[in-house]
């Protein structure tokens, strides 16, 4: 095959229209998505600009090898088309940008979760939309023709693109930050990160780096200095303390919190044995990001403290508890996750979810047997974390058939369409089953140990067409609604435990506005532990409690954070 390296300056006049079609073709794939995003007003013009300048890059090879224009454009087109689908479908579903952080969440989620989401959100109109989009690409490709430029113009253009895309931004960064490989990598990641097809590989490289640092974190964690002056009000006494972490359960769907449907009959029945906190929220709408704060000293203002301070698991170990982690979440997939890191800070782990697909029935009742097994363990002081799958989508797979009790439209907003009604019914049935699991854990614990305590909260909430307008579904950090963060927060104590160290549980206490980002202080106090860094004002049950803004949003973009109290009634709940 002969490549025609263009030579001479007198070949033919420049085919500007041909160049225009080529550029339009390469820009079509990132461009359609960027144009759609601009109409929502959520995204600035930077990704659009990046997609425009990086589309110039594809012109270089077709200028150097003009005879290869159509086959080359076809290959690049298919690659760009494929990678553009992620962003396009994400836009169809959320009208949001498919950003690096979204991709991280997908990598962090277990493999099949993404396809499960896709199934849940799929709508018929997406097929014709996809066909139209693809047809547009094919029609554009048919118009492409080789453009023969003079050698001088070709190399001049190549040099200009190289300067514009690489030399100028890298030079500028080196001038500001000094020359290093990291500087260069940072510029490339920042500029190419928003642009397909580089988006995925860039995000994956960054994700792998984060994961490697997680592994290091586990090693670092083992070397952290212990909490200074740890004192234990229950020192030496046999006790069992349990932390149950729920999943995607919005308290506004629990009758315990006033929901019209009786979704939590068992917890309702034991209400007088429970401390039900009415205004607790999660700091973020994603599991890992919440637990990085709830289980450590990190919070929205100091998001990195999980790296340098002991965790709640470390604390309990230091206090002399044998610790266990039972999880019904898919933690042990090929990819290790932050969840695995936390679970490995306990002494014994029970990983119950071995499904390849989360899109299959996996019921939280599976935690009850290992829970009983641990309760029979002769270790006198036990700390048990139970991590539920809760009411995570797909809701229909979270409860066995006999819990399918809510159907029809009774008790639901009249504005919901039939599909939405079905989703809410599935969710409410999942909440009903969650009620059985949580209340069964409490029942087992109360039989097993006279000195026992159990705390249950959900990692975050879920907007199941709850917020005003009844249109929002799921969780999106950029557009926070109260249901995404409104979580149940309950404490159960055995009589023995409660009478030993009476704390303050007035109505005022139960109505306090609180974020689980400071949970470690509440847990410490409930467990009877104090230490130098304990902050009474961050403990939900302390006399010296001080209300703080309920910051939600990405703590690494402090300006994006908002105070959720603006969406909360002065005293929500009862």
Taking the complex as a whole, the smallest distance from the CB of residue 246 to Zn ion amounts, in Å, to: 9
Taking the complex as a whole, the smallest distance from the CB of residue 291 to Zn ion amounts, in Å, to: 9
Taking the complex as a whole, the smallest distance from the CB of residue 83 to Zn ion amounts, in Å, to: 27
Measured from the CB atom, the residue of 247 and 435 that comes closer to Zn ion is: 247
Beta bridge partners of 277: 489
Measured from the CB atom, the residue of 487 and 541 that comes closer to Zn ion is: 487
Measured from the CB atom, the residue of 330 and 542 that comes closer to Zn ion is: 330
Taking the complex as a whole, the smallest distance from the CB of residue 459 to Zn ion amounts, in Å, to: 4
Which of 5, 438, 16, 8 is closest to 263 using CA atoms?
A: 438
Taking the complex as a whole, the smallest distance from the CB of residue 455 to Zn ion amounts, in Å, to: 17
Taking the complex as a whole, the smallest distance from the CB of residue 287 to Zn ion amounts, in Å, to: 3
Q: Is 273 helix (H, G, I), strand (E, B) or coil?
A: helix
Q: Which tokens hold the place of 391?
A: 């009411």
Q: Which tokens hold the place of 234?
A: 């229950």
Which positions ≥6 away from 323 have C-beta within 8 Å? 313, 316, 317, 345, 346, 347, 348, 382, 383, 384, 385
Distance CA 294, CA 312 (A): 9
Taking the complex as a whole, the smallest distance from the CB of residue 325 to Zn ion amounts, in Å, to: 16
Measured from the CB atom, the residue of 174 and 288 that comes closer to Zn ion is: 288
Distance CA 297, CA 516 (A): 11
Measured from the CB atom, the residue of 83 and 395 that comes closer to Zn ion is: 395
Site for Zn ion, rule CB under 5 A: 247, 287, 459
Cβ–Cβ under 8 Å, residues 96 and 478: yes
Angle between helix axes 418-448 and 368-375 (nearest 10 degrees) is: 10
Distances (CA, A) of 571 to 146, 460, 512: 69, 20, 8
What burial letters (b/e) apply to 298-328, b meaning 16+ CB within 10 Å?
Answer: bbbeebeebbebbbbbbbbbebebbbbbbbb
Taking the complex as a whole, the smallest distance from the CB of residue 456 to Zn ion amounts, in Å, to: 14
Measured from the CB atom, the residue of 342 and 545 that comes closer to Zn ion is: 342
Which of 254, 547, 546, 257 is closest to 406 using CA atoms?
A: 254
Beta bridge partners of 529: 232
Cβ–Cβ under 8 Å, residues 321 and 241: yes
What is the CB neighbour count within 10 angstroms for residue 362?
20
Measured from the CB atom, the residue of 291 and 520 that comes closer to Zn ion is: 291
Measured from the CB atom, the residue of 232 and 459 that comes closer to Zn ion is: 459
Measured from the CB atom, the residue of 29 and 457 that comes closer to Zn ion is: 457
Taking the complex as a whole, the smallest distance from the CB of residue 105 to Zn ion amounts, in Å, to: 10
Give the nearest residue (CB) to Zn ion. 287
- Secondary structure element (H or E) that encloses residue 343, with its range: helix 338-343
Measured from the CB atom, the residue of 108 and 247 that comes closer to Zn ion is: 247
Distance CA 104, CA 204 (A): 8
Measured from the CB atom, the residue of 65 and 363 that comes closer to Zn ion is: 363
Taking the complex as a whole, the smallest distance from the CB of residue 132 to Zn ion amounts, in Å, to: 35
Taking the complex as a whole, the smallest distance from the CB of residue 297 to Zn ion amounts, in Å, to: 21
Q: What share of the chain is helix, strand, coil (3-state, %, to 5)?
A: 50, 10, 40
């Amino acid at each position: 095959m002969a490549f025609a390296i263009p030579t001479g300056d007198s070949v033919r006049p420049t085919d500007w229209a041909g160049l225009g079609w080529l550029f339009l073709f390469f820009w079509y794939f990132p461009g359609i998505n960027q144009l759609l995003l601009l109409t929502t007003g959520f995204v600035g013009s930077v990704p659009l600009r990046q997609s425009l300048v990086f589309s110039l890059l594809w012109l270089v090879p077709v200028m150097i090898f003009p005879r290869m224009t159509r086959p080359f454009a076809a290959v690049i087109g298919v690659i760009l088309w494929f990678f553009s689908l992620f962003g396009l479908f994400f836009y169809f579903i959320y009208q949001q940008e498919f950003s690096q952080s979204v991709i991280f969440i997908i990598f962090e989620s277990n493999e099949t979760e993404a396809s499960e989401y896709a199934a849940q959100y799929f709508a018929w109109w997406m097929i014709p939309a996809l066909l139209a989009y693809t047809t547009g690409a094919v029609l554009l490709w048919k118009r492409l023709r080789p453009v023969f430029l003079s050698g001088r113009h070709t190399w001049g253009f190549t040099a200009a693109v190289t300067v514009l895309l690489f030399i100028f931004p890298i030079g500028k960064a080196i001038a500001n930050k000094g020359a290093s490989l990291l500087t260069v990598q940072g510029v490339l990641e920042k500029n190419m990160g928003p642009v397909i097809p580089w988006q995925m590989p860039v995000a994956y490289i960054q994700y792998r780096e984060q994961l490697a640092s997680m592994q290091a974190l586990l090693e670092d964690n083992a070397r952290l200095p212990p909490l200074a002056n740890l004192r234990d009000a229950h020192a030496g006494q046999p006790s069992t303390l349990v932390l149950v972490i729920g999943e995607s359960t919005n308290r506004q769907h629990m009758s315990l919190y006033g929901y019209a449907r009786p979704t939590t009959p068992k917890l309702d029945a034991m209400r007088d044995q429970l401390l039900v906190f009415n205004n607790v929220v999660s700091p973020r709408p994603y599991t890992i990001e919440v637990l990085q704060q709830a289980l450590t000293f990190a919070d929205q203002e100091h998001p990195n403290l999980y790296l340098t301070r002991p965790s709640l698991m470390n604390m309990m170990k230091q206090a002399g508890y044998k610790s266990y982690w039972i999880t019904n979440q898919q933690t042990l997939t090929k990819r290790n996750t932050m969840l695995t890191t936390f679970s490995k800070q306990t002494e014994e782990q029970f990983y119950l979810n071995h499904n390849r697909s989360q899109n299959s029935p996996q019921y939280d009742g599976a935690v009850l047997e290992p829970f009983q097994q641990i309760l029979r363990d002769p270790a006198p002081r036990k700390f048990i974390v139970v991590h539920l799958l809760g009411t995570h989508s797909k809701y229909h797979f979270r409860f066995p058939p006999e819990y399918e009790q809510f159907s029809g439209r009774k008790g639901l907003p009249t504005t919901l369409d039939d599909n939405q009604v079905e989703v809410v019914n599935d969710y409410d049935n999942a909440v009903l089953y969650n009620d059985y699991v949580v209340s069964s854990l409490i029942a087992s614990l109360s039989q097993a140990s006279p000195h026992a305590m159990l705390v249950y909260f959900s990692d975050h909430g879920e907007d199941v067409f709850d917020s005003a307008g009844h249109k929002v579904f799921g969780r999106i950090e950029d557009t926070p609604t109260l249901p995404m963060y409104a979580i149940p927060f309950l404490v159960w104590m055995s009589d023995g435990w409660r009478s030993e160290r009476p704390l303050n549980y007035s109505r005022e206490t139960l109505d306090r506005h609180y974020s689980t980002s400071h949970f470690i202080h509440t847990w410490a106090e409930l467990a009877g532990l104090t230490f130098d860094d304990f902050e009474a004002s961050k403990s939900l049950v302390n006399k010296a409690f001080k209300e703080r803004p309920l910051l939600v949003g990405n703590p690494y973009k402090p300006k994006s954070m908002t105070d959720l109290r603006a969406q909360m009634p002065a005293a929500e709940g009862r």
